[in-house]
Structure 1
Amino acid sequence: MRAQKNEELAKTPPMGWNSWNKFECKINETIIREVADAMASNGMKKAGYEYIIIDDCWQIGRDSLGNILADPERFPSGMKSLGEYIHSKGLKFGIYSDAGTATCQGRPGSRGYEFQDARTYAKWGVDFLKYDWCNHGKQSAEASYTLMRDAINKAGRPMVFSICEWGTTKPWEWGKSVGHLWRTTEDIINCFDCTNNWGGLGVLQIIDLHTAIGDFSGPGHWNDPDMLEIGNGVLTPNEERLHMSMWAMFSAPLIAGNDIRNMSAETMKILTNKEVLDVDQDKLGVSATRWMKYRDFEVWFKPLSDGNYAYCIINRSNQPVTINQDLKATIKQYKIDGSYRVRDLWKHKDIGSTKDNMVTTIAGHDVLMLKLTK
């Protein structure tokens, strides 16, 4: 029988924080400890965030036996000690490596050291491994990630395994038995509607790449549209709400990428909106379907485990749009009968029922996220 990943992990999309979007290579032990302190105390842990993931640039080389070494200047206490500190806060410890010979920032990769590195991470108490795809040469992605999956299994410590090969080889087609989540696109960049010359994508560009792959995602095997850019100072509050709403509609991993030690009340409200998080964390784990697209207006629909539905209308344009939506007709498209109470998940209030047309205005780059409850 073919070996499998640990099937007991990531039954709902992982939630946590990653260092890259805010700090890139400028990380150290003090920052990570302070972020753990913040997550444990500011309401994020209570909301469901639990992983503290150190991205690239923590490693500096290997010793004479080939063991991976953390930068002693930035992490003087060592990774085992740092992991113990994160665990002491009731949180989980994540780390980064690469399937190639070097990481994206030129630090030692795991190629040829997969089993040795997995044993090291297990000794350090690692709970989550993000595994990148730089400097991979002519390696097979599926074989490379499967090898590290087997190394994690042999190391004996359960770890969520995050495949990060940017959707290059359609990992949604092969990743279910290999990893718990797989990146579906190139890296997110801190903008709403843009690309750049190395392939980074804005929020809208990433959304567009998820219209046809939702069926591959589900409990224990998630499409990963990359980390959140909420709170990093470029997206407007409207854009941040749309970003968060659609990641929740996709049942995406929610990995904050801002400085959670010091963020605005508005950012905190967006990241910890329980009603939106409940849509993301719904145990059915079905990714939303785009029901309609008309110019800059889109409607997305998602069934929930309690027999109810999430319904999301996004306005891609920078101008407000007034809608007059027949929700009863809309849900009939999905062969759904009956009357449903309609609740606005960002305003936290009921706004009517599917018996009546919904007439409202959605601001530019904003969203109307609803729950339909029978």
Structure 2
Amino acid sequence: MSLTQKWLSIALGSLALASPALAQKATSKTDFHQWAPTPPMGWNSWDCYGPTVTEAETKANADYMARNLKDSGWEYVVVDIRWYVGNDTAHGYNEKNPDWNIDQYGRFVPAPNRFPSAAGGKGFKPLADYMHAKGLKFGIHLMRGVPVIAVQRKLPIKGTKLTADAIHSKEGQAAWLHDMYTVVPGKPGAQEYYNSLFELYASWGVDFVKIDDLSEPYHTGEIEMIRKAIDRTGRQIVFSMSPGETPIADAKHAQQHANMWRTVGDFWDSWEQLKEHFEVCNRWAPYIMTGAWPDADMLPLGRLGIRAERGDDRQTRFTPDEQRTLMTLWSIFRSPLMFGGDLPSNTPATLALLTNPRVLAVNKTSMNNRQLFRRGDLVAWTADDPKTGDKYLAVFNAQDQELAPTSAAAAKSPLINRQTPQATLDVDITGAQKLYLSVRGGDDGTAWDHADWLAPVLSNGTKTMPLTELPWQKASAGWGQTTLNKSVSGGPLVVAGKTYPAGIGTHANSVIEYTLPAGYTRFQATVGLDQAAAGQNTGGSFQALVFTKSPYQPAPADSVRVPVALADLGLAPGCIVQDLWSGRQVGKFTTEFVPFIRRHGAGFYRISGPKLAK
């Protein structure tokens, strides 16, 4: 690197630290930011195949991308977690007797029963070559650290006289998967171990790495070792940090070491999680930077859950309006776009959602992306077209049917959490025609609010009836699907170490509605935090409520007018508005633009016209 190049790199790094918004405008042509000049776009196997994807399934998704998506900018095909385990399982990892595949230097290699082309020590090179021949790029998922099995076997670190046990610490091991130990920064052999990993991946032709258990909590030392190891290979490997939320305090460090980093935990097809993204994206917008992208997580669209860690085989639970909201927000926020569904199962509507050229142009090239206003649950975002000076405008209606206050409940539990994992409810339902079982989140900042209604029964003093024998009229869940006699994660109902044969698994926020048979006067149940949540690093919390009248307030209108003053966009009278989703011209406007926006829906527009005099 010349002195001029070094000075430019240092200057641009200082620019990013001083002003993340200005840093969108330029980066050095020699640094890793140039490897992702626009938000990466691709497919990831996690949402549909969990830790069990095969080579044939990966190729099928790549074939679809090459035929249908590549021309729109989609290019990465990413094999997610535990490709090195030959006998992993859906709906939870196999940690009892995993069939490890690891080389002599303590580096995981692909399981040949799942990836036959990897046999004979070829690794992922044949699969990467397959992608490259189609004009695509290949990525893999990794866990932070050194494999536990490498430490136990004292496998050598390539290029040194040390072994894996010399660089590890049990401190900081992921609570949710125990494959790896921490690599201790500064220990002899630590950097060499990461160097050897990325030498191997570069030799395979890997173009993208998603590294888990790295960003929340934030592991500064290992992030810096990974950055050095990638740069040392000379291969342009895009570096994605996961999961989130990455601490805002570490945003500037993330900008200078990674191409993308997560702003949330795992995001699924839940409206509650999608609605939370308005605040998350607003919080992270100042840190959008060319080549270093805040990542709002994958797009859980299309067919999901074929063999996922959570949930069952299904089409996305997002409504068409919510799907458009998702794509609109991710595009104007300039999040990376990683599709989670099974591409060959796509409907024409899903394909159209992913290939709209006007919408994708905002994601690829817009600047000065920011929230314009939030009025309750009516939200507007804006950005600039750097070529024409036109304004982009996204308008959202995130209004919900509001829940009734907890004071309206016939009974309510205390806060259920790891410290108080269960409670018993005994409710007088005399004369009631309806029963609503409601679970509301405990607002502890985690999404692990797995709730179980255990042994629920109706009685009248002389006879009893298990509620599980009565079909519900409706059932909602904030994540996953309300499930009879299983937890929402698909496992048995386990609370405080005890397994229950009968009950209902759900997830906050949830409402389960029943029409009651005549004559019953009491409802009884135990409510508990399922072990799937209680066993996590931070657990979860919720409150259970029983209603005999609707737990909702009257519904808001299906659509509302959302006024946007053109002056707030810096525009003078006489502006032309184009609908980006349809391509149609909406009309010419003088002082304000007032679109109708459906509940949970979005409008997306280009506004052209004279600018206000400064």
Same fold (TM over 0.5): yes
Q: CA RMSD in A?
A: 2.4
Counterparts of 1:32-51 in structure 2 under 5 Å? 32-42=58-68, 44-51=69-76
CA distance in 2, matches of 1:17, 1:96: 12
Greater Cα offset, 331-340 or 313-322: 331-340
| Equivalent in the alignment of 1:216 | 287
On the 8 A contact 1:322/1:362 being kept in 2, the answer is yes
> How much has 1:241 moved relative to structure 2?
0.2
On the 8 A contact 1:130/1:161 being kept in 2, the answer is yes
Please say if 1:309 is aligned against 2:391.
yes
Q: Deviations 1:237-276 (Å, cap 9, x if unpaired)?
A: 1100000000001011111111111111111111111110
1:261 aligned residue (344, 359, 362): 344
> How much has 1:64 moved relative to structure 2?
2.6
SS at match of 1:179: coil
Please say if 1:142 is aligned against 2:220.
yes
> How much has 1:168 moved relative to structure 2?
3.6
Please say if 1:191 is aligned against 2:270.
yes
| Equivalent in the alignment of 2:199 | 119
| Equivalent in the alignment of 1:90 | 135
SS at match of 1:90: coil
Q: Which amino acid aligns with 1:295?
A: G
> How much has 1:315 moved relative to structure 2?
0.8
> How much has 1:339 moved relative to structure 2?
3.3
Q: Deviations 1:152-207 (Å, cap 9, x if unpaired)?
A: 111221111112241343342211210111111211122111xxxxxxxx111123
On the 8 A contact 1:237/1:266 being kept in 2, the answer is no
Taking structure 1 as reference, are residues 362 and 264 closer, same or farther at Cα in structure 2, changes over 3 Å only? same
Taking structure 1 as reference, are residues 360 and 209 closer, same or farther at Cα in structure 2, changes over 3 Å only? closer
Q: Which amino acid aligns with 2:257?
A: V
Taking structure 1 as reference, are residues 135 and 58 closer, same or farther at Cα in structure 2, changes over 3 Å only? farther
Please say if 1:155 is aligned against 2:237.
no
Counterparts of 1:329-344 in structure 2 under 5 Å? 330-337=565-572, 339-344=574-579
The higher radius of gyration belongs to 2
1:164 aligned residue (227, 234, 242): 242
Taking structure 1 as reference, are residues 90 and 178 closer, same or farther at Cα in structure 2, changes over 3 Å only? same
On the 8 A contact 2:66/2:134 being kept in 1, the answer is yes
Taking structure 1 as reference, are residues 281 and 140 closer, same or farther at Cα in structure 2, changes over 3 Å only? closer
CA distance in 1, matches of 2:212, 2:562: 45
On the 8 A contact 2:244/2:263 being kept in 1, the answer is yes
SS at match of 2:117: coil
On the 8 A contact 1:118/1:151 being kept in 2, the answer is yes
> How much has 1:117 moved relative to structure 2?
1.0
On the 8 A contact 1:324/1:357 being kept in 2, the answer is no
CA distance in 2, matches of 1:54, 1:174: 27
Q: Which amino acid aligns with 2:386?
A: S
Please say if 1:323 is aligned against 2:401.
no
| Equivalent in the alignment of 1:31 | 57
Unaligned runs of 5+ in 1: 194-201
On the 8 A contact 1:229/1:256 being kept in 2, the answer is yes
CA distance in 2, matches of 1:165, 1:237: 27
> How much has 1:123 moved relative to structure 2?
0.6
> How much has 1:135 moved relative to structure 2?
11
| Equivalent in the alignment of 1:198 | none
On the 8 A contact 1:40/1:89 being kept in 2, the answer is yes
On the 8 A contact 1:172/1:184 being kept in 2, the answer is no
On the 8 A contact 1:10/1:220 being kept in 2, the answer is yes
On the 8 A contact 2:246/2:261 being kept in 1, the answer is no
On the 8 A contact 1:54/1:96 being kept in 2, the answer is yes
Q: Deviations 1:72-92 (Å, cap 9, x if unpaired)?
A: 110111111111111111100
Q: Which amino acid aligns with 1:85?
A: Y
1:58 aligned residue (80, 83, 86): 83
2:255 aligned residue (164, 176, 186): 176
Q: Which amino acid aligns with 1:154?
A: R
Taking structure 1 as reference, are residues 32 and 323 closer, same or farther at Cα in structure 2, changes over 3 Å only? same
CA distance in 1, matches of 2:576, 2:376: 28
SS at match of 1:300: strand
On the 8 A contact 2:576/2:608 being kept in 1, the answer is yes
2:114 aligned residue (70, 74, 78): 74
1:278 aligned residue (361, 384, 390): 361
CA distance in 2, matches of 1:364, 1:140: 37
On the 8 A contact 1:100/1:134 being kept in 2, the answer is no
Q: Which amino acid aligns with 1:20?
A: W
CA distance in 1, matches of 2:558, 2:596: 7
Taking structure 1 as reference, are residues 365 and 190 closer, same or farther at Cα in structure 2, changes over 3 Å only? same
On the 8 A contact 1:101/1:135 being kept in 2, the answer is no
Taking structure 1 as reference, are residues 324 and 145 closer, same or farther at Cα in structure 2, changes over 3 Å only? closer
1:13 aligned residue (39, 46, 50): 39
> How much has 1:65 moved relative to structure 2?
2.5
CA distance in 1, matches of 2:218, 2:569: 40
| Equivalent in the alignment of 1:298 | 379
Unaligned runs of 5+ in 2: 1-5, 14-29, 86-100, 119-123, 148-173, 184-189, 304-315, 401-556, 610-614
CA distance in 1, matches of 2:367, 2:238: 17
Taking structure 1 as reference, are residues 127 and 293 closer, same or farther at Cα in structure 2, changes over 3 Å only? same
Taking structure 1 as reference, are residues 140 and 261 closer, same or farther at Cα in structure 2, changes over 3 Å only? closer
1:345 aligned residue (566, 580, 584): 580
Q: Which amino acid aligns with 2:362?
A: V
Q: Which amino acid aligns with 1:243?
A: L
